[in-house]
Structure 1
């Protein structure tokens, strides 16, 4: 119990350090006037409660599923914003949302994994560790990545625990959303500065690939956890190692294809042409997906607390601390569009269903945009 207590203290410490780092930064770079190069508009808006946890919106079969601090979980048609269902799990949330369109899972601050079906609570299961990463729901299983980077698998039908995977724990773990995602018949999870491929049926290790080599004079400086979101590019999974590197791993072979030194706090976006990331000063950079060759860098949004990016068609989008959504040309980095929300920070990485882009603000605004 003493060891677990020290680890919990370390997670809280690292969350505090990240918060202090962001609060002590220079003033945000003022926005310059922008003449839109492409057309886009807000197509619908909805509201939920405050969102202070690292919420990740789920996208399945034309439906966005989101949640707020209070435990409200809401499913909306992506094209129209029409409500599909809503539910309240009865407790404040620390992680969510994971969904395959049939089952939807979130985690409460009391370490309860809650799974809903059709907008009704199907089951709850206690977890041994704190969770801030949205669960993954796939193959009638619910997979959970805890802050200590242990991985837990449950039967989506009844909540029965199936297995747990735990690698040797690092001295410190980042209290930030990590990576847990499917790749064909493999479960890919972030484990310190590595991506690991697990057998989703048994929880056994298939491969490990290193994104970065931790460096520094102390445990805080050497912290290099993989942070989400990551992006799948055909057979590649590309991700960021905290404050260290952006890298792409061949998930078929379990080998690192390329890695580039690039300090940053949030995950990456991309497609089969470009991988795009935001560094610790909010410099936006792109690398060619095939080999990691630098493509372009934009410095017009420094210190604006940018979200992780998303690539949608031939454009990349990020949100900032004032609720602005910025679009860049994917291939050149040219600013092409800027649209406002409610003035509060964009809380999570934008997500897309078809051509509809959804952003969620800390004040609970759900804004759907679509290019024209």
Structure 2
């Protein structure tokens, strides 16, 4: 997830802290666009738009594909369902007719509904066929990440450190569990994931939590990062990246912390490596692909944590989470470039600039292609032929 403050309201402050002032010796500079001789150029299948997008706000609105449709939203409240093959709008609703809806939690499609969350702490369920609102529920805090749908529940992780579960059909609250939240945290929250009756999520206090999906009772908590340093900024330890479950292992990474592989049966770490990240990561086979807090793209052996390669050519370009498309590792950046890398070496194989408004979220793999959405709300489907 992209970084910002929950407790500090000025986006300008974040820019100052990360980018620095031009002319200062220690200022942080965005790396120039790498010169890449592209081995291929994707073709466009269709193109549309979803409201005004997310602009420069933190809104992790990744589209989702289900029921033969692509569902996407903008921050103000426009939600659209489009035919995956043609891009034709099937339905469009505006949840922000009276006031901006401030949609911020990515979309989840399940149980014939589309679930999404807002900065005002509202969890919304829409009928996937019509877009009509089925129910709304108060989650009690900002919903900045994608809801989880499992065992007839919809589970959200809120900015107040609470994991809350609601009935998928009625919206009635079923259970809630909470954790301590430090005074200063990154703006973002881990999406919960689940397997075999357990739900797992990252916390702002540097821990990874495990609970029973059925009732929210805690199974264990595992430290991923520990506060260090003299300032509050140095002591940030958020676990905002969504955990990844692969076989018997659960992977998690923390800001100012570690990349950890945890044995699901015992809850104990199988291995740990020192990396700092708040961005979602990718596991494909025996490879784990990670974006560090400096926007270095790293590949490690998922079985041992051994680093395989590191690409630093996109430093501080505000990268999206990595995604696997057609056998390549793909990331987007703040200037609207898609960068395609060889997963075995980290070398660039292709590059395109789609829109100078930039990317807030990764491309989405769909049937016969992939979907990209830019910060201004432009959405398109592309293919590599």
TM-score, normalisation: structure 2: 0.86
Q: Which runs of 5+ in 2 are unaligned?
A: 21-26
In 2: Cα distance, 1:261 partner to 1:15 partner: 30
In 2: Cα distance, 1:252 partner to 1:294 partner: 25
Q: 1:97 to 1:20 in 2, by over 3 A?
A: farther
Q: 1:133 to 1:333 in 2, by over 3 A?
A: same
Partner of 1:307: 320
Partner of 1:121: 133
Say whether the 8 Å CA contact 1:148–1:173 is kept in structure 2: no
In 2: Cα distance, 1:111 partner to 1:161 partner: 14
Q: 1:20 to 1:176 in 2, by over 3 A?
A: farther
In 2: Cα distance, 1:99 partner to 1:123 partner: 15
Say whether the 8 Å CA contact 1:215–1:222 is kept in structure 2: yes
Q: Deviations over 1:91-111 (max 9, x none)?
A: 232323222262212223332
Partner of 1:55: 61
Partner of 1:97: 107
Q: Which runs of 5+ in 1 are unaligned?
A: 1-9
Partner of 1:151: 163
Say whether the 8 Å CA contact 1:273–1:288 is kept in structure 2: yes
Q: Decide which moves more: 126-135 or 147-156.
A: 126-135
In 1: Cα distance, 2:278 partner to 2:175 partner: 30
Q: Tell me the secondary structure at the aligned position of residue 21 of structure 1.
A: helix
RMSD: 2.4
How much does 1:300 deviate?
1.8
Q: 1:343 to 1:244 in 2, by over 3 A?
A: same
Q: How does 1:263-274 map to 2 (within 5 A)?
A: 263-274=276-287
Q: Tell me the secondary structure at the aligned position of residue 13 of structure 1.
A: coil
Q: 1:70 to 1:211 in 2, by over 3 A?
A: same
In 2: Cα distance, 1:249 partner to 1:61 partner: 34
Q: How does 1:151-230 map to 2 (within 5 A)?
A: 151-191=163-203, 192-230=205-243
In 2: Cα distance, 1:60 partner to 1:271 partner: 22
Q: Deviations over 1:238-267 (max 9, x none)?
A: 232013322222334322222221223422
Q: 1:329 to 1:187 in 2, by over 3 A?
A: same
How much does 1:177 deviate?
3.0
In 1: Cα distance, 2:10 partner to 2:200 partner: 24
In 2: Cα distance, 1:259 partner to 1:77 partner: 43
Q: 1:214 to 1:257 in 2, by over 3 A?
A: farther
How much does 1:126 deviate?
1.9
Q: How does 1:1-372 map to 2 (within 5 A)?
A: 11-13=6-8, 16=11, 18-24=14-20, 26-38=28-40, 40-48=42-50, 49-51=52-54, 52=57, 53-60=59-66, 63-90=69-96, 91-100=101-110, 102-118=112-128, 119-191=131-203, 192-354=205-367, 356-372=369-385
How much does 1:188 deviate?
1.2
In 1: Cα distance, 2:265 partner to 2:384 partner: 34
Number of positions where the alignment pairs a residue of Structure 1 with one of Structure 2: 363
Say whether the 8 Å CA contact 1:212–1:259 is kept in structure 2: no
Say whether the 8 Å CA contact 2:255–2:293 is kept in structure 1: no
How much does 1:327 deviate?
0.8
In 1: Cα distance, 2:286 partner to 2:43 partner: 26
Q: Tell me the secondary structure at the aligned position of residue 6 of structure 2.
A: helix
TM-score, normalisation: structure 1: 0.89
In 2: Cα distance, 1:212 partner to 1:64 partner: 36
In 1: Cα distance, 2:214 partner to 2:86 partner: 37
